[in-house]
Structure 1
């Protein structure tokens, strides 16, 4: 898997972060302003003139590092499981089927983000059992008075049932290897980082903008377009073209 083949997943995360703002942006903002019981090690943030801003930045970065790390772990686990299926079905058949399914999931995700179809909500129910086991652990991390606790909280919240994450996770599984699965989820998680980072530092101001219907629908339509373009790409077979930078390609599936 090349860096170019991971670009679509980063872009999906970036566009899909409008959903993240609505689902967990408030949580991130709340976590970022919890008073710390002891000073944070913010020596690396010495260039920031406002101590409060630097504290928030450290807290939000710690939380998101844990969250994205949990995505990568899930991608590696499912990629490893799918590796066995690839061995049984043959690489070519697995690759072709995975390519079509991955882009179909992009179409579904695009419809989900625009609000046109909420079928992914049903998929979220699949993760409720695991979340019921993990959620009580979050209480033991309170108060969130250190970056380490913020990292641990992010690691747990990364398993919060989310249809958007599950749609990309399916694609990660279809890569057929632990390393590729982790890479896909890491690229996706990094795509969601800019919005949630600004959200955590600045508070609710960004949430108001990102939750406007026009922003959400526009982002969803772009994801939908990626999916439709990817299906067209799969049907016509154009490996090595410029479409590799914006479509999920056989190399990534």
Structure 2
């Protein structure tokens, strides 16, 4: 990291990094709804290839590659959204005198959206985020998922399972939408890639155990995890919200996180 700060120190001292890690750890159970069926398919294929019900070192490696592929995909998309935000804010700063107002308004919108997502998880309405996905996009996601499922046999037995995991970055997920919005608001591609990668790594324990040992997570435990996930989103959403308010001249308590600043 910049300034000679190591990755573990950055995570320990960065409130946004801690929030992203907790979102990943707590959101792993939610990921089972989207990733669980495909995980089950490729886990069954691995067992058939090994001709054993016991967990082998090869299966562990394949599950690890699959989940690393997911994390890398999230990181790449996080960097893309952040780059788009950086280009927008840079253009606004160059062409008008309203750059601060635009960034402040964007912080309010993004922070509010993330906080509303958190409230949805707290009150058991997490599925409401799915309504914001346009029907054509949903159909496209369905075709991508179908394409991946149809090629599981071809991808599951070697390093190409990494790509199978990476496809999940293109699938709709209520815990990823707010994270991409946050990345856009920061306008910092490298930092956003690290944060989204951290979120992806945080989801690995649940999906790894699901694919190898558990097979399911009880509805009661998932509900508890969703409430904790909602609380994490409230913290994450407050970061851009507070920065947006301060850019608009409203002084509020805030966490010291470096958001996009104009050059010069």
* TM-score, normalising length: structure 1: 0.75
For residue 61 of structure 1, what is the aligned residue in structure 2? 64
The superposition leaves residues 45-78 of structure 1 with CA deviations (integer Å, 9 ceiling, x where unpaired) of xxxxx96243332121111111111111211222
The superposition leaves residues 195-230 of structure 1 with CA deviations (integer Å, 9 ceiling, x where unpaired) of 21222221324x1267543343x3244235425754
Q: Does 1:186 align with 2:197?
A: yes
1:191/1:94 CA distance change after superposition, 3 Å: farther
For residue 104 of structure 1, what is the aligned residue in structure 2? 112
The superposition leaves residues 107-156 of structure 1 with CA deviations (integer Å, 9 ceiling, x where unpaired) of 12223324236431112336425425534542234244424232121111
Q: Distance in 2 between matches of 1:181 and 1:108?
A: 21
Other structure's SS at 1:155 match? helix
Q: Distance in 1 between matches of 2:118 and 2:74?
A: 20
- Name stretches of at least 5 consecutive residues in structure 1 with no aligned partner: 40-49
For residue 153 of structure 2, what is the aligned residue in structure 1? 142
Q: Contact conserved, 2:187 with 2:260, CA < 8 A, in 1? A: no
For residue 39 of structure 2, what is the aligned residue in structure 1? 28
Other structure's SS at 2:125 match? coil
For residue 91 of structure 2, what is the aligned residue in structure 1? 88
- Name stretches of at least 5 consecutive residues in structure 2 with no aligned partner: 3-9, 94-98, 246-250
Q: Does 1:208 align with 2:211?
A: no
For residue 7 of structure 1, what is the aligned residue in structure 2? 18
Other structure's SS at 1:34 match? helix
1:192/1:105 CA distance change after superposition, 3 Å: farther
Q: Does 1:71 align with 2:49?
A: no
Q: Does 1:116 align with 2:125?
A: yes
For residue 46 of structure 1, what is the aligned residue in structure 2? none
The superposition leaves residues 63-110 of structure 1 with CA deviations (integer Å, 9 ceiling, x where unpaired) of 111111111121122222222111123364455334333332331222
The superposition leaves residues 5-27 of structure 1 with CA deviations (integer Å, 9 ceiling, x where unpaired) of 42221122222223112332343
Q: Distance in 1 between matches of 2:23 and 2:115?
A: 12
* TM-score, normalising length: structure 2: 0.72
For residue 96 of structure 2, what is the aligned residue in structure 1? none
Aligned residues: 234
Cα RMSD over matched residues?
3.3
Q: Contact conserved, 2:182 with 2:240, CA < 8 A, in 1? A: no
